[in-house]
Structure 1
Amino acid sequence: MISINNLSYYLGSRALYENASLHIKPNQKIGLIGLNGTGKSTLLRLIIGEYQPDGGNISKAGDCTIGFLNQDLLSYQTDDSILSVAMQAFERQNELQKRIDELLHEMEVNYRDELVDKLGKVQDEFAALDGYSIQSRAEEILEGLGFSTDDLHKPLRQFSGGWRMRVILAKLLLQRPSLLMLDEPTNHLDLPSIQWVEKYIQNYEGAVIVVSHDREFIDNVVDTIVEVSGAKLNFYAGNYSFYVEEKALRNEIQQGAYENQQAKIRQTERFIERFKAKATKAKQAQSRVKMLEKMELVDAVIDENARVNFRFNFSQQPGRHILHLDHISKAYGDKVILRNTTARLERGDKVALIGANGRGKSTLLRIIAGGEPIQGERRLGHNVLFSFYAQHQLESLHVEDTMLEELKHANPTKTEGELRGVLGCFLFSGDDVFKKIKVLSGGEKSRVALAKVLLSQANFLLLDEPTNHLDMQSVNILIQALDQYEGTYVVVSHDRYFVSQIANKIWYIEDHEIKEYPGTYDEYEWWMQEKKSAVGNGQARSGGPAEAKAKKDDSPRPPAASRNDGPPLPHATDSERKEWQKALKKANQQAEEAEQQITNLERQKKQLEAELSKTDVIADSKKLQTKTDEYSRVNKQLTQLQETWENAMLEVEEWEKKLA
Structure 2
Amino acid sequence: MISIDNLAVEFSGTALFSDVSFVINPTDKIALMGKNGAGKSTMMKIVAGRQNPTRGHVRAPKEAVIAYLPQHLLTEDNCTVFEEAAKAFKHVYDMRDQMEVLNKALETRTDYESDEYMSIIEQVSDLGEKYYALEDVNYDAEVEKALKGLGFRQDDFTRFTNEFSGGWRMRIELAKILLQKPDLILLDEPTNHIDIESVIWLEDFLVNKADAVMVISHDRAFIDNITNRTIEVTMGRIYDYKANYSHYLQLREDRRVHQIKAYQEQQKYIADNMAFIERFKGTYSKTNQVTSRERMLEKLQIIEIDEVDNSALKLSFPPAPRSGDYPVSVQNLTKKYDDVVVFSDANMSIKRGEKVSFVGRNGEGKSTMIKAILGQIDFEGECSLGHNVQVGYFAQNQAALLDNDLTVFQTVDEVAKGDARTGVKNILGRFMFKGDDIDKKVGVLSGGEKTRLAMVKLLLEPVNLLILDEPTNHLDLKSKDVLKEALKTFDGTLVLVSHDRDFLQGLSEKVFEFKEQRVIEHFETIDAFLERNRIKSIADINLMK
Could you state the TM-score of these two structures normalised by the residue count of structure 1? 0.73
Is contact 2:10–2:54 with CA below 8 Å preserved after alignment? yes
| 1:453-532 matched pairs, under 5 angstroms | 453-528=458-533
What SS class does the counterpart of residue 326 from structure 1 fall into? strand
Is contact 2:513–2:519 with CA below 8 Å preserved after alignment? yes
Following superposition, the deviation at residue 372 of structure 1 comes to 1.8
Q: 1:429 and 1:291 mapped to 2: Cα distance?
A: 42
1:384 to 389, 394, 401: 389
Partner of residue 89, structure 2? 90
Cα offsets for 1:414-438 (capped at 9, x unmatched)? 5678544443443333221221212
Q: 1:272 and 1:459 mapped to 2: Cα distance?
A: 68
| 1:560-571 matched pairs, under 5 angstroms | none
Q: 2:422 and 2:272 mapped to 1: Cα distance?
A: 41
Following superposition, the deviation at residue 406 of structure 1 comes to 1.7
Is contact 2:229–2:242 with CA below 8 Å preserved after alignment? yes
Seen in structure 2, the aligned counterparts of structure 1 residues 66 and 534 have a Cα distance that, compared at 3 Å, is: closer
Q: 1:60 and 1:480 mapped to 2: Cα distance?
A: 44
Is contact 1:309–1:481 with CA below 8 Å preserved after alignment? no
Seen in structure 2, the aligned counterparts of structure 1 residues 460 and 271 have a Cα distance that, compared at 3 Å, is: farther
Partner of residue 24, structure 2? 24
Partner of residue 408, structure 1? 413
Cα offsets for 1:377-414 (capped at 9, x unmatched)? 22222322112112433343233322122223343345
Q: Aligned letter for 1:69? A: L
Stretch deviating more after TM superposition (321-330 or 290-299): 290-299
| 1:11-50 matched pairs, under 5 angstroms | 11-50=11-50
Seen in structure 2, the aligned counterparts of structure 1 residues 108 and 273 have a Cα distance that, compared at 3 Å, is: closer
What SS class does the counterpart of residue 192 from structure 2 fall into? helix
Q: Aligned letter for 1:8? A: A
| 1:131-530 matched pairs, under 5 angstroms | 133-270=138-275, 272=277, 276=281, 287-304=292-309, 308-314=313-319, 316-413=321-418, 418-528=423-533
Following superposition, the deviation at residue 119 of structure 1 comes to 7.2
Q: Aligned letter for 2:505? A: S
Cα offsets for 1:469-496 (capped at 9, x unmatched)? 2232332332233234332221211111
Q: 1:108 and 1:7 mapped to 2: Cα distance?
A: 55
What SS class does the counterpart of residue 414 from structure 2 fall into? helix
Partner of residue 59, structure 2? 59
What SS class does the counterpart of residue 216 from structure 1 fall into? helix
Following superposition, the deviation at residue 227 of structure 1 comes to 1.2
Identity within the alignment, %: 36
Q: Aligned letter for 1:98? A: D
Following superposition, the deviation at residue 351 of structure 1 comes to 2.2
Stretch deviating more after TM superposition (411-420 or 322-331): 411-420
Q: Aligned letter for 2:81? A: I
Seen in structure 2, the aligned counterparts of structure 1 residues 172 and 96 have a Cα distance that, compared at 3 Å, is: same
Partner of residue 604, structure 1? none
Following superposition, the deviation at residue 240 of structure 1 comes to 1.1
Seen in structure 2, the aligned counterparts of structure 1 residues 427 and 373 have a Cα distance that, compared at 3 Å, is: same
Q: 1:105 and 1:271 mapped to 2: Cα distance?
A: 93
Provide structure 2 residue ranges, at least 5 long, that are not aligned to the other structure: 541-545
Partner of residue 543, structure 2? none
Following superposition, the deviation at residue 198 of structure 1 comes to 0.9
Seen in structure 2, the aligned counterparts of structure 1 residues 80 and 285 have a Cα distance that, compared at 3 Å, is: same
What SS class does the counterpart of residue 6 from structure 2 fall into? strand
Stretch deviating more after TM superposition (143-152 or 282-291): 282-291
Q: Aligned letter for 2:530? A: E
Q: 1:142 and 1:418 mapped to 2: Cα distance?
A: 49
Q: 1:377 and 1:494 mapped to 2: Cα distance?
A: 28
Q: 2:66 and 2:333 mapped to 1: Cα distance?
A: 49
Seen in structure 2, the aligned counterparts of structure 1 residues 275 and 460 have a Cα distance that, compared at 3 Å, is: farther
Is contact 1:179–1:209 with CA below 8 Å preserved after alignment? yes
Q: 1:511 and 1:51 mapped to 2: Cα distance?
A: 44
Q: 1:476 and 1:534 mapped to 2: Cα distance?
A: 31
Following superposition, the deviation at residue 287 of structure 1 comes to 4.9
Q: Aligned letter for 1:223? A: N
The structure with higher relative contact order (CA 8 Å, sep 6+) is 2
Q: 2:203 and 2:66 mapped to 1: Cα distance?
A: 19
Q: 1:533 and 1:120 mapped to 2: Cα distance?
A: 44
Partner of residue 613, structure 1? none
Stretch deviating more after TM superposition (513-522 or 110-119): 110-119
Q: Does 1:3 align with 2:3?
A: yes
Cα offsets for 1:508-543 (capped at 9, x unmatched)? 1235333333443322233446889999xxxxxxxx
Following superposition, the deviation at residue 280 of structure 1 comes to 6.9
Q: Aligned letter for 1:158? A: E
Q: 1:516 and 1:111 mapped to 2: Cα distance?
A: 74
Seen in structure 2, the aligned counterparts of structure 1 residues 157 and 295 have a Cα distance that, compared at 3 Å, is: same
Following superposition, the deviation at residue 295 of structure 1 comes to 2.8
Seen in structure 2, the aligned counterparts of structure 1 residues 503 and 283 have a Cα distance that, compared at 3 Å, is: farther
Is contact 1:100–1:123 with CA below 8 Å preserved after alignment? yes
Following superposition, the deviation at residue 376 of structure 1 comes to 2.2
Is contact 2:233–2:239 with CA below 8 Å preserved after alignment? yes
Q: 2:396 and 2:366 mapped to 1: Cα distance?
A: 14
Partner of residue 634, structure 1? none
Could you state the TM-score of these two structures normalised by the residue count of structure 2? 0.88
What SS class does the counterpart of residue 253 from structure 1 fall into? helix
Q: 2:80 and 2:347 mapped to 1: Cα distance?
A: 39
Is contact 2:85–2:175 with CA below 8 Å preserved after alignment? yes
Following superposition, the deviation at residue 95 of structure 1 comes to 2.0
Is contact 1:426–1:474 with CA below 8 Å preserved after alignment? no
Is contact 1:306–1:477 with CA below 8 Å preserved after alignment? no
What SS class does the counterpart of residue 172 from structure 2 fall into? helix
What SS class does the counterpart of residue 58 from structure 1 fall into? strand
What SS class does the counterpart of residue 459 from structure 2 fall into? helix
Seen in structure 2, the aligned counterparts of structure 1 residues 315 and 167 have a Cα distance that, compared at 3 Å, is: closer
Seen in structure 2, the aligned counterparts of structure 1 residues 370 and 423 have a Cα distance that, compared at 3 Å, is: same
Seen in structure 2, the aligned counterparts of structure 1 residues 274 and 508 have a Cα distance that, compared at 3 Å, is: farther
Is contact 2:355–2:510 with CA below 8 Å preserved after alignment? yes
Q: 2:123 and 2:111 mapped to 1: Cα distance?
A: 10
Name the Cα RMSD after superposition.
3.2
Stretch deviating more after TM superposition (450-459 or 175-184): 450-459
Q: 1:533 and 1:6 mapped to 2: Cα distance?
A: 41
What SS class does the counterpart of residue 185 from structure 1 fall into? coil
What SS class does the counterpart of residue 218 from structure 2 fall into? coil
Structure whose CA Rg is larger: 1
What is the number of equivalent residue pairs in this alignment? 534
Seen in structure 2, the aligned counterparts of structure 1 residues 534 and 473 have a Cα distance that, compared at 3 Å, is: closer
Is contact 1:83–1:138 with CA below 8 Å preserved after alignment? yes
Q: Aligned letter for 1:357? A: N
What SS class does the counterpart of residue 234 from structure 1 fall into? strand
Seen in structure 2, the aligned counterparts of structure 1 residues 511 and 163 have a Cα distance that, compared at 3 Å, is: closer
What SS class does the counterpart of residue 327 from structure 2 fall into? strand
Q: Is the helix fraction higher in 1 or 2?
A: 1
Q: Does 1:75 align with 2:74?
A: yes
Seen in structure 2, the aligned counterparts of structure 1 residues 147 and 504 have a Cα distance that, compared at 3 Å, is: same
Is contact 2:230–2:242 with CA below 8 Å preserved after alignment? yes
